[in-house]
Amino acid sequence: MAKYQIVGATGCPTGIAHTYMAQEALQQAAENKGVSIKIETHGQVGIENELTAQEIADADAVIIAADKDVQKGRFAGKQVINVAVGRGIKEADQLIDDALAGKGEVLEDENKQEEQSEQTEGQGETKKANNIGRNIYNNLMNGVSHMLPFVVAGGILMAVSFAIWGVYSAEPDSAQYNETAAMIKGIGDMSMGLMVPVLSAYIAEGIAQRPGLAVGFVGGLIADDGGTGFLGGILSGFLAGYFMLALKKLLAKMPKSLDGLKAIFLYPVIGVSVVGVTMWLLSGPMEAINQGMMDFLVNFEGSNPLILGIIIGCMSAFDMGGPINKAAYVTGTFLLAQGNSGFMAGVSAACIAPPLITGFGALFFGKYFEKNDRNAGFVNFILGSTHITEGAIPFATKDPLRNIPIFMLGSSIAAVLTYMFNVQVPAPHGGFLVLPVVTGKVAWVSSILLGSIIAGLLFGFKQKRLAAKNNTKESEAA
């Protein structure tokens, strides 16, 4: 069996692009330095290039570049560098150097970590707060990552039903009614209906591992049934996860012979009872808050598409797959489940634009780009057209202070025009692949292209000025 100096794991909430970009960046950086490395990926298709226990044991260091749970407990006792997936892409060289230099922390197992944290209470408060914030974000993204396939599958099936047989084809009283359409839409509804329970379940699973899964799922079902929406699902997920952590600690001193009883009886019965009753009681107030937010967004959408479009455009292009982008996207998917397909139209437009902006920039001002960047820009026409915003990230990381505002401008133009034209997109992902089911196809595509071309021209001009500046410096140096 091959031995590796460094092993690692990458994972992002959507599991489509960042996961593999970080893997590639780390592998390339290691290869350049003559270091052997194996990186496991936690993408949307599951775990690939999986590490064995022996490979982990033989490695000198571990790099985790992830915004979701990657089962880091396996690395207990190893020197671990644990960073966000974005740093795995942007700072791969530095991470390899740090790993070789023995930086990072020795990862303790869960129980030892709790004991140590009690003994060192009061020390390193800032560092502890940072870890808590990162853990909360990772657990939230663990839920989002597992929720997305249900949303995509459900949304596409519902969209297909509408596109082929008509919007009212699943309603028995309608003249459009068709049994096949009703069946397909019903399957789509079921898939979408699992969105909140799955979100809650995998937030809890990220926090408390397997004992949190069932409790989080039941809490999510109650939240969904009570009309609390995804906010209730997030609350129930964190409530279930941290309650189960406390329960595990409380029952830790029970005899080892009763471990089976704890797993199959005590954990689920106590957890489901406490979290279930709590969520049941919270459903009323949560439903009111949720409905208020939905009403606010829906009213905003109708009364001021300009401001809503700017907000959504800036959020979607600011971190392209990060937490701010995800806040807009998750709100869109939830409103989609409520039958509002207008909000998602703006979110989709804003997410599609950034990669297209780099493509148009490379197309109009190709000679001012390096060959690799020019080729990457052309590839981004494909990524953008399929709603993979992450294709613009390599450009954003090279010059964030100038490039990200340009992306935000293009996304905002696309979103504002989409809302002004009242476009409806009944699918949460897929980019131009879902065009057949879009209401207002020409307006939607035109909005995206206009925003992308305007920003693409700015992007190209910026690149031209940068190239001229570099040439001037070289001439002066000569």
pLDDT, residue 37, reads 93
* Percentage of residues in the chain having pLDDT higher than 70: 83
Give tens-digit pLDDT for 305-357: 888 889 889 988 887 766 577 777 777 877 777 777 888 899 999 999 998 99
CA atoms of 55 and 2, how far apart (whole Å): 8
HSE (side-chain half, CA atoms, 13 Å) at 83:
21
Residue 461, classified by CB atoms within 10 Å of its CB into exposed (0-12), middle (13-18) or buried (19+), is: middle
351 is known as an active-site residue: no
Mean pLDDT over the full length of the chain:
82
Residue 173 has pLDDT above 60, yes or no: yes
Beta carbons of 35 and 96 less than 8 angstroms apart? yes
How are strands ordered across the β-sheet holding 105-106? 46-48, 37-43, 6-11, 61-66, 79-83, 105-106
Structure tokens at 454: 């305007």
Residues 459 and 357 sit within 8 Å (Cβ to Cβ): yes
Q: Say which of 7, 12, 239, 416 is annotated catalytic.
A: 12
Say if CB 96 and CB 26 are below 8 A apart.
yes
Per-residue pLDDT of 400-437, as tens digits, reads 788 889 999 999 999 999 999 989 888 777 778 778 88
- Give the Cα-Cα-Cα angle 172, 178, 179 (nearest 5 degrees): 85
pLDDT digits (tens, 9 = 90+) for 259-280: 778 888 899 999 999 999 999 9
In the chain, the amino acid numbered 303 is: S
Question: Residue 395: how many CA atoms within 13 Å on its side-chain side?
Answer: 37
Tally of helices (H runs) and strands (E runs) in the chain: 19, 6
Q: How much is the pLDDT for 215?
A: 95
